[in-house]
Amino acid sequence: MLTEDQVRQFHEEGYLFLPETFTPEEIAALREEAELIYRETRPEVWREKSGAPRTAFAAHLYNEAFGLLARHPRMIRPIEQLFGEQVYMHQFKINAKASFTGDVWQWHQDYGTWARDDGMPEPRAMNIAVFLDEVMPINGPLMLVPRSHTQGVLAAGHDTSTTSYPLWTLDEETVTRLVAEGGIVAPTGKPGGLLMFHGNLVHGSAGNITPYPRKIVYLTLNAVSNAIRKPTRPEWIAHTDFTPIEPTDDQALTRYARRVRQQAAE
């Protein structure tokens, strides 16, 4: 559970970073599974214009390891604490940011998309990022504009051309104003770090031209009372199963990792 200071920081700044929340053993298993998923040809796996993997949606529905991660109490319980109610999975994706070819994610607010494309009533959904690789200042870390979540839903344009993924993006004048007020932070850390940030927090990331990949799992947990009303996107992008998540026990992912490692050794 979060401390009072952590809760205060989240509400004031719009984000909270918890380093090394998951163990190297747990992360190694997830990283291996992510690489296998990126090799698959299926509609949930989107690629950059270069052909490199960009994101894999809904992996928790067809992969055991990510299914366990999606119900892990180290993520679910803090969000229930902040919202004061149970949550369901609105979206699940593994973003690749491949070495040398990982493309940008333009400046945007996620709730803008959830509201416009999915009919989400309020920004009572939480983004959670789990680092599968080390996130460094040089390999395209996620950049956040602190306190920008207090600005509400900002005007945005639908960018369908910059990258392979359509996004409701903010104009340069708006981003410049917000950065002048709040600055920019780019949380970095070892694999296993956990970053949570408000649905209205302005964020984006630069391309990755280094040899170091930057895989991050993103979960969007939505308060059950805030379920989407008018979905327009495929089910594997914006889920319409509003069943509250029942967390696993804390060691479920560890047991999975050990079982897979033992099977590989036999």
pLDDT tens-digit map of 37-57: 999 999 999 887 788 888 899
Q: Is residue 266 part of a domain?
A: no
Residue 124 sits in a domain whose CATH number is 2.60.120.620
Query: Buried b / exposed e across 64-74, counting CB within 10 Å, b at 16+?
Result: ebbbbbbbbbb
Q: Is residue 239 part of a domain?
A: yes
pLDDT digits (tens, 9 = 90+) for 56-73: 999 999 999 999 999 999
Task: Say how far apart CA 65 and CA 253 lie, in whole Å.
Answer: 7
Residue 163 has pLDDT above 60, yes or no: no
User: Which range marks the domain in which residue 209 is found?
Assistant: 4-261
Residue 129 has pLDDT above 90, yes or no: yes
**What predicted TM-score, i.e. pTM, was given to this entire model?**
0.92
Rg of the chain taking only CA atoms, in angstroms: 17
Task: Find, among 183, 186, 177, 171, the residue nearest to 151 by Cα.
Answer: 177
Number of domains in the chain: 1
Enter the DSSP assignment of 34.
H
- How much of the chain exceeds pLDDT 70, in percent? 96
Q: Is residue 66 part of a domain?
A: yes
Q: What does the pLDDT average to over 142-158?
A: 89
Q: What does the pLDDT average to over 217-221?
A: 97
**Residue written as tokens 């949606």?**
57
**Weakest-pLDDT range from 104-113, 116-125, 242-251:** 104-113
- Identity of residue 120: M
What is the pLDDT at residue 165? 59
